[in-house]
Amino acid sequence: MADASEMVLTYFQKGFNYSQDGPGNRLVYHLNGCNLRCPWCSNPEGMAPDSKGRTEDVKALASAMISAGPMYFEGGGVTLTGGECTLQFDPLKALLILLREAGVDTCIETNASHPRLPELFPYLNTLIADFKHPDPELHRQWTGTDNLPVIRNLRAAAASDLPLQLRVPLIHGVNDDDAALAGFIAFFKEINRPGLTVEFLRYHEYGREKWEKQGLAYTMKDAFVSPERAAFFERACKEAGLHVIRT
């Protein structure tokens, strides 16, 4: 891997957020680029790797993040998300190494599809990973990619001792049917262990305006999930022995 001083990262948004992007108060950077094409994406402006963003070198970013230390209260730290943060893999890894050396708590939010994802585990305090659909064909149909690399990575994460937060965007007509629920439970039970949590995030339309602003068609229709249906998913997972959370 090249030296961190030669590397840059491009991000399209940054800011503090409390408890929703990992523990405590966190400085969250949204890195550019994503390899998936979810039609419900709430950050379509960050999907393309060449989308508008700010580019900074890794060492300067690490210094800025380390100097924000007093803000990381209640177990907080730095979260790298996206888009899909692992698309800028080597600079991301270099940044995580620098942060960990400085004692900063680190977390990434990822779609978990990058083949080298497990290389990052030693430099993370928390891994937040999406699992969008248990059926490979439907996963491909909705996101444009297979879920097998995701399954492989989540198995590897579950075999580590890393706190692992699994997130499912729950979307009517996509993954809120009984067959999907059975698939989620079967896979989550297979990889379940202490420190693994599951969260269902009900569909929202925060992205609609952004898609339209960019001249892109927002194609999701009738995708809202009722609170009762989401609670049914949560209850079924709890009954299967899973630790279900809401952040």
Residues that bind ligand SF4 (CB under 6 A): 34, 36-38, 41, 43, 47, 82-84, 111
Bond from prior residue into 83 cis (ω within 30 degrees of 0): yes
Rank residues 32 and 125 by Cβ distance to ligand SF4 and give the closer one.
Answer: 32
In degrees and rounded to multiples of 5, residue 106 shows phi and psi of -120, 150
DSSP summary character for residue 92: H
DSSP summary character for residue 7: -
Structure tokens at 79: 């979260």
d(CA 164, CA 117): 13
d(CA 156, CA 193): 12
Structure tokens at 220: 């999701």
In 3D space, the residue among 175, 87, 190, 93 whose CA is nearest the CA of residue 131 turns out to be 175
In 3D space, the residue among 222, 217, 225 whose CA is nearest the CA of residue 44 turns out to be 217
